[in-house]
Amino acid sequence: MWQRMAAAVGPPDGGPEKVFFSRRALNETRREAGLPVRTPSEHDLQPDRVFAEAGFAVSTPEALPIADQIRTAAGARVIAGSAGTALHLSAFAPAGARVLEVCDSRSPDIHVPHQRVIDHFCEHLSALIPYGVPPRKVGKVLRSLGCAKGS
């Protein structure tokens, strides 16, 4: 079903092979509206920087039309992001894509069950970056997984 939906929006048009779905813009919007977020604002910038340095395109899915969100995921061979709705876009990625779930404080060292189900049924290679990994060491984790720039 997900692959049929991806095909219906059209082929990816030279989009990024590696994409990091950021929560920065979503959290900024929630803060402005007085709604709770799970991370402080200074923390939101760190993952964007670390993944960009590792060669990932940083995407804020909520700023894109749904068809572009699907195309971005469908064209990526590596998708990373915090567990949640944005990372669930990985359902549109082809079988064999790598999905990197970046843990947050609510589930610091386990795959969120919804993401595990998506990864299993879509035949994705999944990996976890625990919440306790300091931002300065995420690049090393990405290199060990063969997902950093030059890997």
Annotate 119-149 with three-state secondary structure. Answer: HHHCCCEEEEECCCCCHHHHHHHHHHCCCCC
Residue 151 is predicted with a pLDDT of 61
133 domain residue, yes or no: yes
Domain count, the chain: 1
> Does residue 63 lie within any of the structural domains?
yes
In a domain, 151, yes or no: no
Q: Is residue 110 part of a domain?
A: yes
* pLDDT, tens digit, 9 for 90 and up, residues 85-115: 889 999 999 999 999 999 887 888 888 899 9
Q: CA nearest 50: which of 151, 137, 150?
A: 137
Q: Is 149 within the bounds of a domain?
A: no
Question: Would you state the structure tokens that stand for residue 14, as one six-digit string?
Answer: 């030279």
Q: Is residue 61 part of a domain?
A: yes
Establish if 14 belongs to a structural domain: yes
Q: How far apart are CA 79 and CA 74, in angstroms?
A: 10
Q: How far apart are CA 99 and CA 88, in angstroms?
A: 10
Q: What is the DSSP letter of 82?
A: E
Residue 100 lies in a domain: yes
pLDDT digits (tens, 9 = 90+) for 116-127: 999 999 999 999
Using pLDDT thresholds of 50, 70 and 90, give the confidence band for residue 24: confident
Task: Report the side by side order of strands in the sheet with 78-82.
Answer: 57-59, 18-21, 78-82, 98-102, 125-129
Give per-residue pLDDT as tens, 35-79.
Answer: 988 777 777 778 899 999 999 999 999 899 999 999 999 999 999
Which domain covers residue 27, as residue numbers? 2-144
Phi, psi of 18, deg, nearest 5: -125, 125
